[in-house]
Structure 1
Amino acid sequence: MLDHGWSFTIHCSSCRLGLVADHQKIVRKKGRDWSPWGKSAPCPAIGCLGRMRLRAYAPAPNEFIDI
Structure 2
Amino acid sequence: MSTATYTVVGMTCGHCVSSLTEEVSAVPGVTDVDVDLASGGLTVTGDAEVDDAAVRAAVEEAGYQVAGA
| Structure whose CA Rg is larger | 1
The structure carrying a bigger helix percent of its residues is: 2
